[in-house]
């Protein structure tokens, strides 16, 4: 018997008895998940806009100063915004520098914390777009709001290896002297359009 076998045998003999897993805590639910989602999104620095349809987003975008003054606009949502750059033409992530506004579809929102799930497959080859852009607009369908993160994780599916990201408001950090700084590591503003 090797020393390795002796050590492993000793560990097995002295292992603590098996115990049942703790009960799963009850997840928080909301009487009005859409209102909770809107409140949570605004509380983390985002702007929430309810629109009846995709066409209405264009009128709302015109009221946003970052959008009306933007030189470079990218949209991954068909027929939304007035994109003037073609992301498929970029061969390198570094070419994304200087994008003023990016419009990105979210798959669903989470009422508990105002987060929006954006699958990597939606972003295509330029998955840094949501970090590189100066201002971000997210588009989510109204019927796609879940109550909590437990429900959110149950919805996430990867057909093949990939990634996704939860986005909640603009980039924020309070690491330096505990002073909140918006836009230090990503988008300086984030507007969410809830459609329908």
Q: Which pLDDT value is given to residue 80?
A: 93
Give the H/E segment covering residue 22: none
* DSSP strand pairing (73-75 vs 108-110): unpaired
pTM: 0.83
Instruction: Please give the backbone phi and psi of residue 2, each rounded to the nearest 5 degrees, phi first.
Output: -80, 165
When the pLDDT of each residue in the chain is averaged and rounded to a whole number, the result is 90
pLDDT tens digit sequence for 70-100: 999 999 999 999 999 888 887 777 778 889 9
- Runs of H (alpha helix) within the chain: 3-13, 33-43, 54-62, 65-68, 120-123, 129-132, 149-155
Question: What pLDDT, on the 0 to 100 scale, is given for residue 55?
Answer: 92
Predicted local confidence at residue 22, as pLDDT:
85
Say if residue 34's pLDDT is above 90.
yes
């Amino acid at each position: 018997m090797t020393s390795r076998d002796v050590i492993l045998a000793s560990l097995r003999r002295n292992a603590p008895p098996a115990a049942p897993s703790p009960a799963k805590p009850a997840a928080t639910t909301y009487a009005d998940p859409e209102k909770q989602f809107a409140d949570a999104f605004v509380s983390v620095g985002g702007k929430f806009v309810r629109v009846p349809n995709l066409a209405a987003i264009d009128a709302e975008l015109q009221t946003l100063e970052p959008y009306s003054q933007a030189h470079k606009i990218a949209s991954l949502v068909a027929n939304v915004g007035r994109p003037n750059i073609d992301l498929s033409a970029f061969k390198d992530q570094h070419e994304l520098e200087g994008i003023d506004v990016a419009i990105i579809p979210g798959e669903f929102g989470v009422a508990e914390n105002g987060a929006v799930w954006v699958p990597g497959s939606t972003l295509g080859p330029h998955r840094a777009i949501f970090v590189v852009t100066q201002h971000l607009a997210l588009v989510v369908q109204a019927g796609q709001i879940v109550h909590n993160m437990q429900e959110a994780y149950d919805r996430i599916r990867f057909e093949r290896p990939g990634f996704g990201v939860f986005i909640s408001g603009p980039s924020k950090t309070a690491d330096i002297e505990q002073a909140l700084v918006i836009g230090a590591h990503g988008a300086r503003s984030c507007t969410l359009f809830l459609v329908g």
